[in-house]
Amino acid sequence: MPNVITPFPGGIARSGSKVGSRYKNQIASTHDQYCPTLKNRTHSKVQPDITAIYEIIINGLTEKSITTAMQVGIETACQWNIAAITAGNYQGKLGKYQFHLHDVMGETP
């Protein structure tokens, strides 16, 4: 297995991310429109009352293990005062699988 440098140590990012970076060895970088600390410096899509955005990065060996991790994470997060849960698919640029939240949670949109 090749060495992969992850821009997300520990599987969490302090804001939304995007594919691509100005640094050649990084596959992803901060998505400035979804970074609460940059609200006043960019064309922000973050609501004024939002002070934190966390992106949880899940890697797994099987689709089932990823789905289970997402279900547990979503159910746990819903016990806190959160504004929203979303998922990015990055047009398949970070992996060939996509996990849609409604499907993961067994709900109809």
My answer on whether 49 and 68 are in the same domain is: no
State both tokens at 2. Answer: 């090749």
pLDDT band at 103 (very low <50, low <70, confident <90, very high): very high
pLDDT at 25 exceeding the cut of 60: yes
Domain presence at residue 4: no
pLDDT band at 1 (very low <50, low <70, confident <90, very high): very low
Distance CA 16, CA 87 (A): 10
Domain presence at residue 5: no
State both tokens at 108. Answer: 């109809």
Domain presence at residue 3: no
Q: What is the mean pLDDT of residues 4-30?
A: 69
State both tokens at 45. Answer: 């899509």
Q: What is the mean pLDDT of residues 35-45?
A: 88
Contact between 54 and 13 under an 8 Å Cβ cutoff? The reply is yes
Structural domain of residue 34, as residue ranges? 11-57
How many residues does this entry show for the chain?
109
CB atoms within 10 A of CB 31: 20
Domain presence at residue 2: no
Domain presence at residue 6: no
Domain presence at residue 107: yes
State both tokens at 75. Answer: 């159910």
Based on the structure, what is the number of domains in the chain?
A: 2
